[in-house]
Structure formats: C-alpha cells, structure tokens
Amino acid sequence: MRKLIVAVLAMGVAAAQAQQWPTKPVRFINPFPAGGGTDTFARPLSAVLTRNLGESFIVENQGGAGGTLGAANAAKAVPDGYTFFIGAVHHTIAPGVYTKLSYDIEKDFLPVTLLAIVPNVLVLNQKTNFKTVKELEAYAKANPGKLNYGSPGSGTSQHLSAELFKLNTRTFMVHIPYRGLGPAMQDFLAGNFEVMFDGMGASAAQIRGGKIRGIGLMAAQRNPQFPDIPTMAEQGYPGMEVSTWYGMWGIKGTPPSIIDRIYQETVKAFQEPVIKTAWQSAAAEFGGQKPEEFAKFVHSEIERWGRVSKAAGIKVDN
C-alpha cells in the first residue's frame, strides 16, 4: 500500500511539473547554420509554441560537421526540459559514415516526434544547360570530374543522395561539402557549383523564384506543389526515392511528463494555419508520430543509411 501511495504521489508531482512547464525560455538547438531546411520548420514551430505557452522558444543555430557538432553539444545539455534538439535524417546517416561520434542519437536523446518529411530533388543552377537527368548523366559520363555537386556537409542526406546517383549511373562528380545548407545555397545560387540533391524544404522557394531548376524529384510520385518536376523513376532511375526529414528530441534524463507535454503541444501546433502554410510551401508532409513510433523510425533509418554508406564506401574521419 505504501509503495502504491508513493507511486501515486510521484505521478501527481510529474503531472504538476508538466502543467507548470515552461517557466523560463526553452532552447531548440538546430545543428545547422541559419537559412537551412531545419530552420524552415523549427522557426515557425518555435513562434507558435512561444505564443501558445507564454514563454520564448528560441532556435539556436550551432552548425558544423554535417550537423554532428550541434548534436554533440545538445547531448551535453542539462536535461531539465529547457533544451531540445531539432535534428534531421542526417543524424541517422552519421553513425554509418563518421568514424567516431561523441554522442549516440538513440542513447543520449529521447525521441519526441517527427516534424516534417520533404522529398529530395535534383536541382541545377541557372548557368547549366541540362534540361533532363539523362542529359546530366550523359555529360557526367563524358566528362568525369568536371561537374561539382554541393551539400550541407559530409554524411548529410544531400551527400548520400548524390552518391546514390553516382553509384546507379557509374558517373563521377566532385563533392564540395559546406558547413550547412545556408552557405551551400549561397554558393549554388552564385554558380560556384552545378548540381545539388537538396531537400524541398530549402529549395522550394528558390525553384519557385526561378533561381534554380528542379529536374528530378526523388519521390514515388510528383508533388502537387511542383507538378512539372518529373520523378527520378519516371526518367529511368528507379530506387532513388530519398526524403529529408526533421525531428525533435529531448535530452536523456528529461522528465517524461515534459516530453509528453511538448509532444502534445507540437501536434496541437500542427493545426495552426501558419504552420500548415509553412509546411505546404516547403512541399512537406506532417509528422506527429508518438515518441515510441518515432524511436522505431529512427532505428530503421540508421539501419537503412548504414547499408547505403557501406555500399558507397563513404567514411568521414573526424
């Protein structure tokens, strides 16, 4: 009976703690520089949570090392419910690519939910003349090493998407890794490299503005926001369906009641018109899976990308 009473009291304390939270500003650590795909979703969400919960939710950009530097810093944060990590598919690629990591995405973090899923797209800068993927492939085969492709960093989905294309077409393009998508996009728009396999979260606005051209969607079907961009499979490239997704994690040790509270508030925020508009503009699907479902998804992605990186022989010494 005494144990039961203690358990009930503990549950009551946890519930009260969750209801009182937050009582001070909350950090969202974004492990990429400002202007990337993660910002596309983290910033509108933080604004809505700030309004709904009455405390500031602040996006803190900590770019570097393909998103692993910010992840390592987040893993060391105090698990008091006032620091959360906004990561991406890149953090399930990293275990199979980096020779050593100072954190474990499954052991050092607590899954909250999947935020958004966007298809990757093969995009070209406007200085190129290729109109189709076949034209790009033909040139790459005839001129090995003359085309450059950029990415937000080694071990990102943009990097792996390009390597998958190279494997499937037996072509060679030079990889130029950047410290995040913002700097990569700036150089891409300036014409400093020709090709990128980017996520729609960041490229959508540039495609709409006519600054870059999308020639191959890495999805099972065309996107209603961009009906003129054919899929890779339509053009004779099956098995090249790649999405860049974004998710939220708590720090290991964060009270479960707070993890549940921020999950509930995040799913609630998905119903806001401003959030729906932001996701639609980025050609994104909503997440919203429960923490345990998100955990299973993360594990499956680690296994999937581990197989791809092994087949491509990709390793990053850090």
Predicted confidence at residue 7, as pLDDT, reads 42
Residue, of 50 and 17, whose pLDDT is higher: 50
What is residue 297's three-state secondary structure? helix
Q: Which of 235, 254, 276 is the last residue of a domain?
A: 235
Instruction: Check pLDDT > 70 for residue 17.
Output: no
Predicted confidence at residue 18, as pLDDT, reads 65
Does 63 share its domain with 149? no
Does 107 share its domain with 50? yes
79's enclosing H/E stretch is: none
Instruction: Check pLDDT > 70 for residue 180.
Output: yes
Predicted confidence at residue 312, as pLDDT, reads 79
Mean pLDDT of the chain: 92
Determine the average pLDDT of the residues in 237-259.
95
Does 228 share its domain with 270? no
Instruction: Check pLDDT > 70 for residue 11.
Output: no
Contact (CB, 8 A) for 115 and 86: yes
Query: What is the spatial distance between Cα 227 and Cα 137, in angstroms, rounded to a whole number?
Result: 23
Query: What is the spatial distance between Cα 159 and Cα 264, in angstroms, rounded to a whole number?
Result: 33
pTM: 0.84
Predicted confidence at residue 25, as pLDDT, reads 98
Residue 209: both structure tokens together: 């503005």
Tell the burial category of 64 from Cβ atoms under 10 Å away from its Cβ (0-12, 13-18, 19+).
middle
* Full domain range(s) for residue 297: 2-118+244-312
Query: What is the spatial distance between Cα 311 and Cα 1, in angstroms, rounded to a whole number?
Result: 58
Q: Is residue 47 part of a domain?
A: yes
Q: Give the C-alpha distances (Å, rounded to integers) separating 250 from 13, 86, 246.
A: 20, 9, 14
Q: Is residue 112 part of a domain?
A: yes
Instruction: Check pLDDT > 90 for residue 5.
Output: no
Instruction: Check pLDDT > 70 for residue 44.
Output: yes
Predicted confidence at residue 6, as pLDDT, reads 41
> Which tens digits make up the pLDDT trace of 65-111?
888 999 999 999 999 999 999 999 999 999 999 988 999 999 999 99
Q: Is residue 317 part of a domain?
A: no
Q: CATH number, domain at 216? A: 3.40.190.10
Instruction: Check pLDDT > 80 for residue 12.
Output: no
Query: What is the spatial distance between Cα 297 and Cα 294, in angstroms, rounded to a whole number?
Result: 5
Does 130 share its domain with 170? yes
Tell the burial category of 67 from Cβ atoms under 10 Å away from its Cβ (0-12, 13-18, 19+).
buried
**What is the number of domains present in the chain?**
2
2-6, 122-126, 151-155, 266-270: which range is least confident on average?
2-6
Tell the burial category of 176 from Cβ atoms under 10 Å away from its Cβ (0-12, 13-18, 19+).
middle
Does 7 share its domain with 106? yes
